[in-house]
Every structure is written in structure tokens, then in C-alpha cells.
Amino acid sequence: MPIQYLTADAVRVAEHATGDLLANGTLMRRASAGVARAVIGELNRTGGCYGRAVGLVIGAGNNGGDALYAGAILARRGVRCSAVLLVPDRAHAGGLAALRAAGGRVVDVLPVSLDMVVDGVLGIGGTGPLRPAAAEVFAQVTAPIVAVDLPSGIDADTGVVNDPSVRAAITVTFGAYRNLHLLAAPRCGRIDLVDIGLPPTDTPDGLFSLTDADVAGLWPVPGPADDKYTQGVVGIVAGSARYPGAAILASGAAVSATSGMTRYVGSAADQVVSHYPEVVAANGLADAGKVQAWAVGPGMGTGDEALEILRTVLATDLPVLVDADGLTVLAQNLDLVRGRSAPTLLTPHAGEFARLAGTGVGDDRLSAVRALAAELGATVLLKGRITLVATPTGRVYGNDAGSSWAATAGAGDVLTGIAGSLLAAGLEPALAGACAARVHALAAARAAAGAPIGASALLAAVRPVIRDLRNA
């Protein structure tokens, strides 16, 4: 099942639905125990708990209460806990009393030598950057930071990373993931989800991510009655005399991703077929033969011929993916896609997104991609370290690549071929984009193995990654 991420309001609704568990402090006790477990686990990996030193940075409200109760648990295990109260008169009274009773102490300045620090400053209701007092404390911290619910200074709903803000080694969250745990994943470190008894929440227009098992289950494979046509025939329109590589990469990715057929239309036919003799090349759209989906754009140019190709494929009732030069042409002719009833997937990077939307992505990428998908009535895949795939109805699939090795010339052409082949195999645009993004990211990481790569190496890793996902 896909992982769901909740807004702050949805989390509050779920918490209030627990009734007495919230009112009598059970949720807080469970949450603080989860924070303590995370800290204890890390300390035990490096020599045990007794005699170790942990700092607590405490803000007002329940987030600080979680951290203080966690500190009390740690203190009872022999950990020397020191707490800085940023707002002393608003610190959680019960948590503070528990910390002191367990032997923890309140200090004005954290000790220099600490094994770990717990960030209990801001919860899901916090907005904006760290206030000066908190920023001053964290500026002196060199130990790994465990964030309670979220790293302070990062917006819970949008994932906007304010300056200054906390960068956590571990984030411990409760009951359900929050939007920022995907949108700002690089700042969260490892995310530990603690079950505190929240009821299931279903928001169809929310934010989700596919697990590797989801991707493996969705990936098309040939059945007993399948042939090359029933598995999906994708038409690739890409490349030119100037950019033959785009045609080779997109076509090769389509061949690698599924077992159907790949047809190629463009001026780089000789180069494509020399690399992939299984590709069926045509002189033009009229000669291409039957396809189940089109993937159009990489390296094809932006002139009148490109516009006519784009106009022709978008006028069909077939699924269409538009990327790269195709998006540049489309940005000047948005009526070609507005109101289109057939499945449509647009795959811009930030610059192409700005041309389509008429404005930059901005810090709130989630809202931006949702707005463009709704305006155009098309599914929009916004590329990045965190790729977001938004449907016109507001449902979004995100993928954290875990690295930026795919930020290399030609990598987008590979993504086009993968996603286009999945469209031809019958996946809806959002799932085709999300599955393609996941395999693309895993292929980049596998090919790189810690060293820079080109798109050809990424492409070569696509089939092994699909095989590993399915075998797992």
C-alpha cells in the first residue's frame, strides 16, 4: 500500500478522534517513549547509555513536553540530561517536573560535550525559521540531532526549509507521516514512525509515495496470452541531427522498461536502430503504425515541425507524455492540452515548469505542481531530488530519490522512455510517472555507487533495478 502523508490539520483531527487517549496524556507518553527509544538505540550503538550526555532544546507546548518526558526516561537509564528552556514560563509543566524528578537538570547553555541533542522546539503548528534564541543554541550544536515530530524551522505542510532551521540525523514522528517527511526528507534524516494509536486517515487528494513493493506489483510483465502488441506499443518522438542522443536514450529506456514494442519517429532513426535493433523506426507519424501511447519531446526541436507533431499527437485519444522541447512548444500553445480528455503526462524540470505556469516553482513545490495540474487538466511530474507527480484532482505521488546522481544530461530522456512505455502498457499517468521516477532514481543510485555517472550508465541500470524490485 502507498505511504500516506498528512497535513497538520489532518493530524490534529486524527489526534482528537482518539478521545481520552489525547485528553489523559496517553498519546504524549507513547510519543515520548518513542523518542527515548530512538535516542537509546543510537547510544547503544556507540557504547551504551549509562553516563552519556544528551541535551534537550525545549520550546513551548506539547512538542517540548514530548522531549521533556523523553528526557526523564533517559535520565532514569543513567543518561545525563540537560535541558535549555527557550520559553521558561511556557515549558510543559508535567514534562519538566518528570525530568527534574528523574535527575535531569535545567541549564542556561547546553554543555559543550554532548552525545546527542533532542530538538523539542517546534511542532506541526510552528511556522517560519528558528527564532534567534533557538538559532543561537543550535549554532553551537555539533552532536547528532533527534527531532521530535519535525526538524524545527521546516513547515509541516509545504516542506519549506526556512533559514535558519534544524538538520536532523533522526526524526521521530507519531501515528502518521507528515507532508514534510517527504517534501523535506534530506533535512529529516532517518524517520522513525511511532504507533501511538491514531485511527487510519484517508485523504484521496493527499500526498502519497509508492513503496518498492507497490512499484514491483504495478510493473507490467507478460502473461500467458500476451504478445508484443498487447503488452503496449509506445511511440517515441525524440532527437534530431543535433541531439541524436536524446532519441537513443529515450528509445533505449522504453525498450528496457517493458516487453512490448517501441516505435521511433524522428531524424535519428539510423542511430537509434544501430543501438537498439528491436526498435521499429518510421519516417513520420503517418508511417509509424499503431501505438498505445506517445512520448514526445526530448531533443526534437522547437520549430514549426515540432509544433505540428505535438498538435497531431495531442489530437488523438491516446495517452501522451510531453517532455523537454515538447514542453517548450506546449508552453506557447497551452490550448493543445487544456480540456484534453485522454491521459496526459507532462514532465517538466523547474525551468520548463516556469514556462508552462508563467511563474517559477517557488519554495512551495507541492502547491505549485497541484495548481498547474489543475489548471491544465493534465498530470504534471515535477522533476527534482523529490519528484512530485500531481493529478488534476489534487492527488500527488512523491518520490525521494535519496541522492542527486540523476542530475546529469540526458537523464530526463531516460525517464521519458520509462514513463512512456508504462503509459503504453496501460498505467494511468500518475502511477506511470511515480513508478518511472522510482525506478529512475534507483537506477541512478545503482549506476553511480558513489561516483558521478552519465545517462548511459543510468540507462544500463534500469533493467537490473526492475529485476531486483520484482524478485524482492
Residue 62, annotated as binding a ligand: yes
Does 412 show up as a binding residue in the annotation? yes
By DSSP bridging, strand 145-148 and strand 170-174 are parallel
34 labelled ligand-binding: no
Q: Would you say 290 is a known binding-site residue?
A: no
Q: Residue 95 annotated as binding?
A: no
Tell me if 228 is assigned to a ligand binding site.
no
Same-fold call for 3-202 versus 212-471: no
417 known member of a binding site:
no
171 beta partners: 147, 191
153 marked ligand binding residue? no
Q: Is 466 annotated as a binding residue?
A: no
What would the CATH number be for the domain defined by 212-471? 3.40.1190.20
Contact criterion met (CB below 8 Å) for 34 and 172: yes
108 labeled binding residue: no
**Does 3.40.50.11540 match the CATH number of domain 3-202?**
no
Distances (CA, A) of 359 to 350, 368, 396: 10, 9, 20
Q: Is 251 annotated as a binding residue?
A: no
User: The whole model's pTM is what?
Assistant: 0.96
Does residue 151 have a cis bond before it (omega within 30 degrees)? no
Helix or strand run (H / E) with residue 437: helix 429-448
Residue 302 among known ligand-binding residues: no
User: Do 181 and 188 touch, CB atoms closer than 8 A?
Assistant: yes
Q: Is 283 known to sit in a ligand binding site?
A: no
Is residue 125 a known part of a binding site?
yes
Is 360 marked within a binding site?
A: no
Q: Is 126 annotated as a binding residue?
A: yes
181 is in an annotated binding site: no
Tell whether residue 303 is among the known ligand binding residues.
Answer: no
Q: Is 66 annotated as a binding residue?
A: yes
The CA distance from 43 to 54, in Å, is 10
CA angle 217, 220, 225 (to 5 degrees): 120
20 is in an annotated binding site: no
Is 364 annotated for ligand binding?
no
Q: Give, in degrees to the nearest 5, the angle at Cα 79 between 78 and 84.
A: 140
- Torsions phi, psi for 165 (to 5 deg): -155, 170
Domain boundaries, the chain: 3-202, 212-471
89 labelled binding-site residue: no
Cell numbers 525530568: residue: 99
From first to last of its 472 residues, the chain has per-residue pLDDT tens of 999 999 999 999 999 999 988 888 899 999 999 999 999 999 999 999 999 999 999 999 899 999 999 999 999 999 999 999 999 999 999 999 999 999 999 999 999 999 999 999 999 988 899 999 999 999 999 999 999 999 999 999 999 999 999 999 999 999 999 999 999 999 999 999 999 999 988 888 999 999 999 999 999 999 998 888 889 999 999 999 889 999 999 999 999 999 899 999 999 999 999 999 999 999 899 999 999 999 999 999 999 999 999 999 999 999 999 999 999 999 999 999 998 999 999 999 999 999 999 999 999 999 999 999 999 999 999 999 999 999 999 999 999 999 999 999 999 999 999 999 999 999 999 999 999 999 999 999 999 999 999 999 999 999 999 999 999 9
